Amino acid sequence: MVVPPGADVQVAVDDSVFRRCGRKVHGAGWQHDGSSPALSKLSYGNCFVTAAIVVALPFCSRAAGLPVLARLHLPGKRKGPGKAETAAALVSQLAIAFPDRMIHVVADAAYHGPALRTLPENVTWTCRIPRKAVLYDLAPPRTGKRGRPRSKGDRPGTPEDIAATAAWTDVTVTAYGRDHVKHVAEITCLWYGSWHARAVRLILARDQHTTSGYDLALVTTDLAATPGALVARYAARRAIEQAFADARNVLGAGEARNRVRLAVERSPVRDARLHPDHPLVRAVWP
């Protein structure tokens, strides 16, 4: 058993493009593809948002990602939900499957927005925050005067503004199979655009030899984990990237040449050799 009974479940979400050609392929379009050889990092094909459970294997020095749910993402604002909405739907399915466990999700900077406000209570979300995102202090206490109370406090600014005045501490982070000494800083704040009035934490990290700015900025709804643990948790997100590479190079994922809607939507099921009546299939395509 790769996850002990009752233990928290760590999940990485990301998307990958299966390169296709032809105008009649359902859901295909020009999309960002980090593995594309082109300088523009764009590829034409089908994009699948995937949720993978991150596990530690006794015979492997790095974390491994086990993809368990995937759903087709339709490009364009008018065609379907965004990537964050799709990822939130997949994670909600996992939260229902594991109601007695905490689900700790890690994602990159593309996975944020209002869709995350309605996640189940046993889900925490940690993702990179865009450089231009503006953060606010928590709402001040009510003054007792007439009028609408303030829903947010003062504006400390962007992560770069906060890093300039932050109090940094040294922590040892275990990531990629090695121990690293990092400078970290944290504040509790509001990211009004994504989580509205819900308190979140901004975690800033940089190399021990860096004296200004930051290398990594995370925002998380996990108010209990230490900054070092959150940095290590985000580093384990790399496991889903390796899972995508292994799925292509070893299992041949993305080689299916189907075109109609139902066939395209079930491409990951065919690549994983899952029966259409498998519980995971019914959870994604009821």
In this model, does residue 83 exceed pLDDT 70?
yes
What is the number of other CB atoms lying within 10 angstroms of the CB of residue 264? 19
Q: Which residue in this structure is represented by tokens 């990237």? A: 241
Distance CA 172, CA 109 (A): 24
Q: What is the mean pLDDT of the chain?
A: 85
Q: Are 210 and 35 in contact (CB under 8 A)?
A: no
Predicted confidence at residue 89, as pLDDT, reads 93
- Asked whether the CA dihedral 60, 63, 66, 67 is positive or negative, the reply is negative
Q: Give the per-residue pLDDT at 282.
A: 43
Band of pLDDT at residue 11, cut at 50, 70 and 90: very high
Indicate the SS3 state at residue 252.
Answer: coil
Among 93, 113, 103, 83, smallest CA distance to 14 is for 83
Q: What are the structural domain ranges in the chain?
A: 1-108+237-286, 128-224
Q: What distance in Å separates the CA atoms of residue 197 and residue 189, rounded to the nearest whole number?
A: 9
Condensed to tens digits (0 to 9), the pLDDT of residues 93-150 reads: 999 999 999 999 999 999 999 999 999 999 999 999 999 999 999 988 888 888 888 8
Is residue 230 pLDDT above 90, yes or no?
yes
Q: Would you say the pTM of this structure is higher than 0.95? A: no
Residue 255 has pLDDT above 80, yes or no: no
Rounded CA separation 194/268 (Å): 30
User: Are 185 and 204 within 8 A, CB to CB?
Assistant: yes
- The predicted pLDDT at position 95 comes to 93
Cα dihedral sign for 39, 44, 49, 50? negative
273 pLDDT exceeds 70?
Answer: no
Q: Which residue has the tokens 């094909």?
A: 45
Count Cα atoms within 13 angstroms, Cβ side, for 127. 24
Q: How far apart are CA 207 and CA 217, in angstroms?
A: 13
